[in-house]
Amino acid sequence: MLTLLSKFVVVRWKSRTRYPVSFILGIVGQWVSYGLEFASMWIVLSSFELLGEWLPHQVMALYSLNLCCYAGGASIAYGASRSLPIMVKDGIIDELIIKPLNSLIYLMLSNISISYISHFTLGVFGVVLSWIIQGIHFSISNLLLLILFILSGSVIHASLMILSAIPSIKMVGNISLTAFYTQVREFMYYPLSIFSKPLQFLFTFIIPCAFISFYPTSLMFEISADNFTGGWIAFFSPVVATLLAVITLSVWKITIAAYQSSGN
């Protein structure tokens, strides 16, 4: 599987870099775009002493970790989630089903993206800066924990992207659910504790986005979460990620079994 993954990455790299100007402009554009968003958030947050119980650099850490996880998840799932409704409409989803590989894995591999370098580097920059301001040690254990949370958060992002796109297999032309995911993602830029209890419950137990960056950041920065859980819940991020991945694969399998194809 790793050989296949690296093969697909090479193929996608070759495909994107066939148009070098477009590729470079894309990366630079993302840096500028997210960099400006980063900067504008910093300016706005600096006007407040606290957001809930969160200091500005802690909110930046939250945003940055979310950005890293989004980069990881989107690299493997964004392309798949955007192309799936189009493939269903054009009847070319058949191609996925005749491959000797799980059709979802093939869909993700064949749409893997290498363009999220900008998101990831900005995210890492934000996390590192926040750690320095907070005085968190760059110990092996802390770094391993960070890597674990980035991996878990990436899987959660990827799963949510795919889950929002799967209904298009039954409902031809569905785009609106993927837009719904985009809106939900924006809630994660801010500490969950500033939202109402029903929303906290929703994003913890129903759409578990809070495990992407809120709980991990709460734990790493030792912020007492003003909700019904403690910082320890962050250690469940890998469990939530695994569960969500299993659910995504199961839903995909059930939906594909009922696939009707299109005429020829």
Partner 1 sequence: MEHIRVDSITKTYLVKQRASGVLQGVKSFFHPTYNTIDAVKNVSFSVKRGEIVGYIGPNGAGKSTTLKLLSGILVPSDGKCFVNGLEPYVHRKACALKMGVVFGQRTQLLWDLPVLDALDLQRHLYRVSKPAYHRNLDLLIELLDMSSFMNQPARQLSLGQKMRANLAMALIYEPEVLFLDEPTIGLDILAKDTIRRFLKTINKELATTIMLTTHDMGDVEALCSRLIFIDHGSLLYDGSLESFVHTYSSGYTLRVEFADTVITKVPDTEVVAQSGNRVDFHVKDHSIRPGSLLRYLTNSADIVDVAVVNNSIEDILRRLYRK
Determine the Cα angle at 85 with ends 83 and 89, to 5°.
Answer: 115
190 in Cβ contact with 62 (< 8 Å)? yes
Closest separation in Å from C-beta 99 to partner 1: 6
CB of 155 to partner 1, least distance (A): 23
Binding mask of the shown chain, residues 49 to 88, with x at each position contacting partner 1 by CB under 8 A: ----------------------------------------
Cβ-based neighbours of 187, under 8 Å, separated by 6 or more: 195, 199, 203, 209
| Min separation Cβ 75 and partner 1, Å | 18
Q: Can you tell me which of 31, 51, 53, 102 binds partner 1, judged by CB under 8 A?
A: 102
Selected from 43, 92, 179, 246, the binder of partner 1 by CB under 8 A is 92
* 11 near partner 1, judged by CB under 8 A: yes
Please, which residue, 140 or 257, has the CB nearer to partner 1? 257
Say whether residue 197 binds partner 1 (CB under 8 A): no
Site string for partner 1, 241-260 (x = CB under 8 A): ----------------xxxx
CB of 161 to partner 1, least distance (A): 23
Applying CB under 8 A, what is the total number of residues that bind partner 1? Answer: 25
Contact status: 239 vs partner 1 (CB under 8 A): no
Binding site for partner 1 (CB under 8 A): 3-4, 7-8, 11, 14-15, 18, 92, 94-95, 97-103, 257-261, 263-264
